[in-house]
Amino acid sequence: MRSVLVTQRLLRAAEYPEERDALDVRWPLFLREAGLVPIPVPSNVDLEPFLAAVGDTAGLLLTGGNDIAAVADDALSRRRDGVELALCDAMERSGKPILGVCRGLQLLAHRSGAALERLDGHVATRHRLSVTPESKWLAAHDGREVNSFHGFGLRSSPWCVAARAADGTVEAVEHPVRRVLGIMWHPEREQAFDAADVRLFREFFA
């Protein structure tokens, strides 16, 4: 099994004067199905020695949770953006894959110059994917029903739009050259993991 760097949600605890990194306990279970072992990245880590210590990895997974600072300018969002953008830079320098989930796609999109907008009807619901012929990774997802937990999203992208929802909003983007993919749904939140999602992660980080 190969390891993959995994970013985490940032929380401010109500009962204690502290801030916490948090990772959904379903992520390790899902990644295990895909033959991957997560290495959670602390939000305030000194990145260069951290990456040197963990050594070779399969790439980077940008998980969901928190809004990016471009749409919710608060201290936690800014700190998380900072470490995730630095990780993206490091992965690109080393040619490693990057896969963004929900917030992860939004961060990648904003980094590419795409405009995020508030969306209605995309929180705690489900819809079907329409995968575009140009997609390199998502052919097996065409027509599949996925979950939806995002209040912000895209209607266009400078990258390849790999999938859309029925209302035309973007559900997945792919970089035209580099191994970089963003998806809006949460594969770890399915009651039974979707075999197509598991295969996608296994092949993308292969």
Section 2-11 average pLDDT: 97
pLDDT at residue 119 is higher than 90 = no
pLDDT at residue 14 is higher than 90 = no
Average pLDDT over all residues of the chain: 95
Q: Where are the domains of the chain?
A: 2-204
Give pLDDT, residue 152: 87
Q: In the structure, what pLDDT confidence band is assigned to residue 77 with cuts at 50, 70 and 90? A: very high
pLDDT at residue 9 is higher than 90 = yes
pLDDT at residue 121 is higher than 90 = no
CATH class of 2-204: alpha beta
* Residues in Cβ contact with 78 at an 8 Å cutoff, skipping those fewer than 6 apart: 69
pLDDT at residue 120 is higher than 90 = no
Share of the chain above pLDDT 90, in %: 87
Q: In the structure, what pLDDT confidence band is assigned to residue 117 with cuts at 50, 70 and 90? A: confident
| Beta strand extents in the chain (DSSP E only) | 2-6, 9-12, 19-22, 36-40, 60-62, 98-101, 117-118, 123-128, 130-131, 145-149, 152-153, 160-164, 170-174, 180-183
* Strand 160-164 to 170-174 pairing: antiparallel
101, two tokens: 């989930």
Share of the chain above pLDDT 70, in %: 100
Convert the pLDDT of each residue in 125-143 to its tens digit. 999 999 999 999 999 999 9
